[in-house]
Structures are given as structure tokens and as C-alpha cells.
Structure 1
Amino acid sequence: MDLCHYCHNEPPDGVHFNPDRMQLLHELGEQKYLDETGDTVEGFIAKFGTNYLPTERTENA
């Protein structure tokens, strides 16, 4: 995800200061990865060590 400096690292709305925005970008990034690679949530976890998608979305993946 390309972010400008302000959106990336400036308070109060930069993702390093806004947990809701950080979570949203994590979710969008993971979903994009899954869509583009055809990998599974389990494969994402094996590669990156975590899952950012909400439980209800991973149960249907």
C-alpha cells in the first residue's frame, strides 16, 4: 500500500498512531495478497506469522 508521509507516520491519523486504520490496511493488504496469489489464510499465516482478517472472513476462506 502506498501512503503519503502524513497518512503513514503523523499523528493522529497516521497508521502508526491510529490502530483502526492500521487494522484496516492490514486486512486490505492480506485480502489483496490472497486474491492475487490464490494462497489460503493458513498459507498467509505460515508466511507472515499472523492473520489480520476478522474471524468471520477466515471461516469462509
Structure 2
Amino acid sequence: MASTLPPRPNLAAVLLREQLRERYPTLAIDSENTLFGTPVWEIVEDQVVARPTGQGVPL
């Protein structure tokens, strides 16, 4: 029986692209040139300060 799923290393990327297209259909996100990361915030002297974003991961 032949599988219709992409090779395992690409499966997460394919599923992520599908979800991005479904959630943000008007944005036309270019998955070849897009990274996502986790924002990092810290409270410094009662101020919210942005810190460097966590490591970017290619889509």
C-alpha cells in the first residue's frame, strides 16, 4: 500500500503550511522565506521590555 503522506522530515512543514493558509488566507505567507520564533518579554523596573526572540525556525 502506497502512502500519500510526504516524507517524515517534511510532514510537519506541510501540515504547518496548510494550517497557515487556512487561518490566514489573505496573507500569502511565503514559507520559503519566513521564520517564526517565540517572543521573549521581561519586566524591568515596572516596564515590559522585549528581549531577543527565541531561535527562528524555518517553515
TM-score range, shorter chain: 0.3 to 0.5
TM-score (norm 1): 0.33
Between Structure 1 and Structure 2, the one with more helix by share is 1
Bigger fraction of residues in strand = 2
Task: Output the TM-score relative to the length of structure 2.
Answer: 0.34
Of structures 1 and 2, the one scoring higher in RCO (CA 8 A, sep 6+) is 2
Whichever of the two has the greater Rg, that structure is 2
